[in-house]
Chains A and B, each alone.
Chain A
Amino acid sequence: MTMIFGVPMAVFMGQLTLGLVNGAFYALLSLGLAVIFGLLKIVNFAHGAQYMLGAFAALLAFNILGINYWLALVLVPLTVGGLSMLIERFLLRRIAHLDHLYGLLLTFGLALIFEGTLINWFGVSGARYATPEILQGGLNLGFMFLPTYRAWVLVAALAMCLFTWFMIERTRLGAYLRAGTENSQLMQAFGVNVPLLITLTYGFGVGLAAFAGVLAAPLYPVSPTMGSSLLIVVFAVVVIGGMGSILGAILTGLGMGVIEGLTKVYYPEAANTVIFLVMILVLMLRPAGLFGKEA
């Protein structure tokens, strides 16, 4: 059997794909955070909870309404994103003129509410969501066995990231968004409905999180706490990459996933902590983050 640095090739490649899949989630979530941060200047602490809500919404939609995976993949982000616009409209907007740390605290409170409510409903253990039939099984690539669903997650997440990039960099709405990120007051003076733009942006960012949640549902146990621990890692990823650029967020997310996966192969004890250690290293060598703009 082929060995890579003393580890069987199949194990190595298996962890590498696992890492890439995790990295895809980091990328999707940090992208959503970056989009929201760009215009609202707040860190959406409820992002993890909203990712979790996405997974739960998919689960409940299937169990109660019989909505299948593919439909959920479209409907859930729209629903969760749409409902979160209410949060922006009625809560975040009212404190937008204050120190942006209040936004962080508000969304933290919301995260506690979402998580606590679902814990009371479903307990912490979590439920399983069946993988859609078409994506069950795996592909034998000769040197490794690639589970189809993981491959799909990777493709779907990357497609979504590219779609986001396209939306922001290549469309008129995206141009507004970028301009608003630079100077929203001037935008307003030009007659653009900035408050509406902000609401839509928040909804879109949260929608990305919910999309990631639906993707994650067949992969991990769907539990109320699935989002919070992930979010802290994503925060570290955001600190590493900086929230300056979209491609930067995607690359950092995938890269950190791979590093985490490889750590699992070579030094499993540090697998939980390696991203935080990378963050410390980046803070020491390049405090603004790998792709960061501000000092």
Chain B
Amino acid sequence: MSDSQVVGAPGIAAKRERRAGQRRAILYIALIAVGLVAPFLAYPVFLMKILCFALFACAFNLLLGYAGLLSFGHAAFLASGGYVTGYLLASYPGLTPELGVLAGTLAATLLGCLFGVLSIRRQGIYFAMVTLALAQLMFFVFIQAPFTGGEDGLHGVPRGELFGLISLQSNLAMYYFVFAVFLLGFALIQRTVHSPFGQVLKAIRENEPRAVSLGYNVDAYKLLAFVLSAGLAGLAGATKTVVFQLASLTDAHWHMSGEVILMTLLGGVGTLLGPLAGASLVVSLQHLLAQSPLGNWVSVILGAIFVLCVMSFRSGIVGELATLYRKNFK
């Protein structure tokens, strides 16, 4: 983003870099503060929905934005995380929610390993088609498997008590748990993106043959990115199941894979905060539309936003804002 180094003036560049870092820190602190007071200003369940989808979109963005891989099958990870957590929490009453969420995340991570090994064998649009087909396979598995409740899904998953101590029945307590999970996931993604690993991912995205010629094991990097992304998507799904106390086929449907792409695209592909903005916007829009006479037109409107984004808004909200900021304040 801010790699516009002034040639021959390393001191100024370093100062600029430092100042950008400070500004970023202030932004993050402000956002965390907003997150902390938000449940007193808005309906917590709605906010939790946003946070779950934001984490899902952030996980997806890690793959698309930083590794350049367009997965059309991320619904499978969201759903597998949700189903495993839901099943475990519903059948073992002694299990605490954090362990349930952990198990769901682990399941999605394992599934991510499997899908990743298969799908990174093809590139570009084939990668998208393979992930879509694999996710559809999982959709049918979820319909037929004995532990998913088939068409009905899992209902009445208990929220339980966090660490066996704090009851999550109240929406406020639940909200702070979800907020903590989101921050954890976001921090991990932030760390990954700015690590040497993340830099190599970007190099692969920009020019894969060159990364290969530099001696990087490109497939291993891609696979790790895929698994990380899948695991975090599973974490989002698992958390979502605890919040809404249900896991259903909606999460596994390919529409869901499309929605997460839209959230990321709308917010800004390859920006850290874009998916958060995109998810907030899409979830709010769905919420608003569901109550309006346009309720039946949600998917048409989402489709139209898709077309609009691709045609003339490709860097997304955060991307456009960043450009605006760079143009006017630097």
Contacts and interface: CB of A to CB of B under 8 A. Distances in A.
Say whether A associates with B. yes
Contact of A119 (B125, B265, B296, B302): B296
A238 B118 contact: no
A42 interface: yes
Contacts of A283: 118-119, 121-122, 130
B134 A106 contact: no
A105 B306 contact: yes
A115 B303 CA distance: 10
Contacts, number: 112
A120 B261 contact: no
A120 B300 contact: yes
Interface stretch (A8-16, A94-102, A129-137, A174-182): A94-102
A112 B128 contact: no
Contacts of A43: 125, 128-129
Contacts of B314: 98, 102
Contact of B310 (A106, A232, A238): A106
Contacts of A109: 302-307, 309-310
A273 B254 contact: no
A102 B312 CA distance: 11
B122 A279 contact: no
- Chain A interface mostly: helix
Given A91-B311, A101-B125, A283-B122, A112 B133 contact: no
B28 interface: no
B128 A276 contact: no
- Chain B interface mostly: helix
Contacts of B261: 105, 108
The interface size bin for chain B is 35 or more
A116 interface: yes
Interface in A17-47: 37, 42-43
Nearest to B296: A120
A219 interface: no
The interface size bin for chain A is 35 or more
Interface of A: 37, 42-43, 91, 94-95, 98, 100-102, 104-106, 108-113, 115-117, 119-120, 228-229, 232-233, 235-236, 238-239, 269, 272-273, 276-277, 279-280, 283-284, 287
Given A106-B306, A109-B305, A283-B118, 11 more contacts: A91-B307, A91-B311, A94-B311, A108-B261, A108-B303, A109-B307, A112-B299, A113-B300, A235-B129, A239-B133, A280-B137
21 contacts: A43-B128, A95-B310, A101-B124, A101-B128, A104-B125, A109-B302, A109-B305, A109-B307, A112-B303, A113-B300, A113-B303, A113-B307, A232-B133, A233-B136, A235-B132, A236-B136, A239-B129, A276-B134, A279-B130, A280-B137, A284-B118
